[in-house]
Chains A and B, each alone.
Chain A
Amino acid sequence: AQKVTQAQTEISVVEKEDVTLDCVYETRDTTYYLFWYKQPPSGELVFLIRRNSFDEQNEISGRYSWNFQKSTSSFNFTITASQVVDSAVYFCALRTIIQGAQKLVFGQGTRLTINP
């Protein structure tokens, strides 16, 4: 089964704290892609990152970093020195091919609140 689990439903931290959002996935595919999207209060879904299953190198983009570990089927997302503008729902997703059709399977999302 293709599945994405984001066990943390809600997280609340104080501004400037570091916070990690967990993502665990299940797939039988040997090649797959993982994604993170951000959904701010305005409602749109914003693409953050794509990771190929062959590339386990961690990635950093400003205050954002991603830790991909195939051994534990995890793709965690860390925000360093969080800011109020980081408040949003964050979705982890897995791209898979089912019966010849590509699908994005989303986790249930983690609602992150950054308090001033």
Chain B
Amino acid sequence: DAGVIQSPRHEVTEMGQEVTLRCKPISGHNSLFWYRQTMMRGLELLIYFNNNVPIDDSGMPEDRFSAKMPNASFSTLKIQPSEPRDSAVYFCASSLQGANIQYFGAGTRLSVL
């Protein structure tokens, strides 16, 4: 079975540009999570969806960040405009609601110059 698929694996962009990260959850999973990992702050939950509906976005740093889940098999995390401090590894994870175990994608390493 395919795991959580994230694209791109690496993204290098210039400050001010729009960045879109993509995630395909495990088929059948109905919860999806976006995390950010930095050396300073570790792993932080940004937002999570249940059945395509955002449940908790309290971790989204500011209005420059937005996330969507238009259907059960696809989600995006967008940063507009990007800033150097957004440089991090962004992970997507999915789970079966109630099953508790979150399975992570390989991550997208974002560098904003």
Residues A5-52 near B (CB distance < 8 A): 33, 35, 37, 42-47, 50
Chain B residues near A103: list those with CB within 8 A.
45, 48, 56
Q: Which interface class (under 10, 10 to 19, 20 to 34, 35 or more) fits A?
A: 20 to 34
A72 CB-CB contact with B under 8 Å: no
Which residues between 14 and 54 of chain B lie within 8 Å of chain A, taking CB atoms? Answer: 31, 33, 42-43, 45, 48
Q: Which 4 A-B pairs have the closest CB atoms?
A: A101-B56, A45-B104, A106-B43, A44-B106
Confirm or deny: A78 has a beta carbon within 8 angstroms of a beta carbon on chain B. no
Q: Flag if B102 contacts A47 (CB, 8 Å).
A: yes
A-B contact pairs, 22 of them (CB 8 A): A33-B100, A37-B104, A42-B106, A43-B89, A43-B106, A43-B109, A44-B107, A47-B104, A50-B101, A91-B43, A95-B100, A98-B56, A100-B55, A102-B48, A102-B100, A103-B45, A103-B56, A104-B102, A106-B42, A107-B42, A108-B42, A109-B42
| A binding-site residues for B, Cβ under 8 Å | 33, 35, 37, 42-47, 50, 91, 95, 98-104, 106-109
A14 to B8, CA, bound (A): 36
* Contact residues on B (Cβ < 8 Å of other chain), bracket: 20 to 34
A99 to B43 Cα, complex, angstroms: 20
Q: Which residues of B contact A (CB under 8 A)?
A: 31, 33, 42-43, 45, 48, 55-56, 89, 91, 93, 100-107, 109
| Bound: A109/B102 CA distance, A | 17
For B42, list chain A residues within 8 Å (CB).
106-109
Complex Cα gap A30–B81 (Å): 42
A43 to B109, CA, bound (A): 9
- Given A103-B45, A106-B43, decide whether A50 and B105 contact each other with a Cβ distance below 8 A: no
